[in-house]
Structure 1
Amino acid sequence: MPDTMPTLFVSHGAPTLVMDSVPTRDFLRGLGNELPRPKAVIAVSAHWDTPDTRLSSGTQPHTMYDFYGFPDALYEMTYAAPGAPELAHKAAQLLEAAGLPAQLDEKRGFDHGAWVPLSLMYPQADIPVVQLSISSRKSPAHHVALGRALAPLREEGVLVMASGNATHNLREVFSHDMLEAPVPYAKAFADWLTGRIEANDEAALLDYLAQGPNGPRNHPTADHYVPLLAAFGAGGGAGKILHDGYTYGVLSMAAYAWGL
């Protein structure tokens, strides 16, 4: 039997994370070797935001360059991991059984929220990957439910890897240097988040805008936070921090694991 896989939340920052000399890149480069080798990955990315739940089901998803204005070398990178249509169908069945119907999308590629961290963790691109969309206009509880529905796949060696950012005020990034020390409001939220994850405090995590310090300033939009809730739901208990770091002062690059 495959190892029961943990679930992960990683902060992916700017697309250039794959190129930048920052501690989070080094952390992700080593992370794959610290985990049981997965049979497949379900990637929950902040950058696939759909009104209703969708799963990628193609056999060979393409690399998406869903960003602009970055160095040319970034647009020459590819991540050629195979898709996993059978896993996509099974995940859809689990979601349907939980009252969370999902559509299959054969044409969806890997957006940078998926391929940037995965290319660092598994550079050989030899582990099949299915992407699961978020629906940021739906409730935080919806995203916890998505993760819980997919939790049985962990027993089959499937790694649920959610990708977003522990803090994500993109508007304030451009007024800070990449290696700048964390600003107090971002650090306060990230520290609060770590405490609530370690305490398995679902109520607080769901109410992050009100209970988290400067919640709306750290997450003006929900898209980079709710992937964490999917990982929390799939993890089924208290989590732990694996990595703590910042880029541009306002982006916490924290990573968390459940079941590890």
Structure 2
Amino acid sequence: MPALYLSHGAPPLADDPLWPGQLAAWAAELPRPQAVLIVSAHWEEAPLALGATETVPLVYDFWGFPEHYYTVRYAAPGAPRLADRIRRTLRTAGTPVQDIPDRGLDHGAYVPLVEMFPAADIPVLQISMPTLDPRRLYEIGRKLAPLREEGVLIVGSGFFTHNLAALRHRGDGPPAWSAEFDEWGQRALAAQDLDVLFDFAHKAPAGQLAHPRTEHFAPLFVTLGAADAQGQLDSGRSVIDGFWMGLAKRSMQFG
């Protein structure tokens, strides 16, 4: 399976005239996964945690939206065998792995999956980010990479730029900081420049404006690790680009 980084949007993504179709078309081009392993910007938990391995209610981790966004369902099967593989892969004397069996999929997971795999018939497992350190997340991705050979689709789910000040932008086009960071990120990924990507907060133009807090860019590094472990950084391509409410929705596929 390839490894993906996607910009997951927000609950109103479902009402966008363009983006749901882009996600659906992307999924249609992929081999059918045996399971989906997803790392969302909206779950930080240390030590690394495994979410529910059986179907439990979704986590509606947002406030102030119309009521219909809180009635969305995505009852994908759990993935207990995948969870067991991850425990054996990641758990060492110095790296504990915990289980949080009642933790359902949050909107960083289910919002894009509803559009990509609407039948909800593929097992899904969400794991937490135990850190926001890009290098440590990259190493986690490297360790998870062999799962790709077993049909597991590894997905880092964030947002290529994420500063909600963009929602107040009133000019034509996206805010300059969002466009500048998006262009920089595209170039850095094309150059496979991991060192500059690891230090994006300081080396990217408008890096701290594009990501005042880095949790939405961080899942990219799990994806990069899963790609680099199999020598596929040079296969990276942008499947979705452009902007949504001023935020860059660039989404990548490796392999």
> Could you state the TM-score of these two structures normalised by the residue count of structure 2?
0.93
Q: What is the RMSD computed on CA atoms of the aligned residues?
A: 1.7
| Equivalent residue, structure 2, for 1:186 | 178
Contact 1:43 1:162 in 2 (8 A): yes
Contact 1:61 1:82 in 2 (8 A): no
1:256 counterpart = 2:249:
no
| Equivalent residue, structure 1, for 2:22 | 27
Q: 1:233, 1:60 → 2: CA distance?
A: 28
Q: Secondary structure at the match of 2:58?
A: coil
Contact 1:61 1:81 in 2 (8 A): no
| Equivalent residue, structure 2, for 1:173 | 166
Offset of 1:230 from its aligned partner? 0.6
Q: 1:66, 1:50 → 2: CA distance?
A: 15
Q: 1:99 to 1:160 in 2, by over 3 A?
A: farther
Offset of 1:13 from its aligned partner? 2.1
Q: 1:212, 1:45 → 2: CA distance?
A: 22
Q: Secondary structure at the match of 1:115?
A: helix
Contact 2:169 2:175 in 1 (8 A): no
| Equivalent residue, structure 2, for 1:222 | 214
Structure 2 portions without partners, runs of 5+: none
Q: 1:200, 1:98 → 2: CA distance?
A: 32
1:199 counterpart = 2:194:
no
Alignment of 1:44-59 (within 5 A): 44-59=39-54
- AA paired with 1:185? W
Q: Secondary structure at the match of 2:216?
A: coil
1:41 counterpart = 2:36:
yes
Contact 1:24 1:253 in 2 (8 A): no
- AA paired with 1:245? G
Structure 1 portions without partners, runs of 5+: none
Contact 2:51 2:103 in 1 (8 A): yes
Q: 2:74, 2:200 → 1: CA distance?
A: 33
| Equivalent residue, structure 2, for 1:245 | 242
Q: 1:99, 1:165 → 2: CA distance?
A: 31
Which of 148, 151, 156 matches 2:150?
156
Alignment of 1:40-79 (within 5 A): 40-79=35-74
- AA paired with 2:188? R
Which of 11, 25, 28 matches 1:15?
11
Percent identity over the alignment is 42
Q: 1:180, 1:111 → 2: CA distance?
A: 32
Q: Secondary structure at the match of 1:223?
A: helix
- AA paired with 1:83? G
Aligned length: 250
Q: Secondary structure at the match of 2:215?
A: coil
Contact 2:47 2:95 in 1 (8 A): no
Q: 2:252, 2:199 → 1: CA distance?
A: 19
Which of 107, 120, 133 matches 2:115?
120
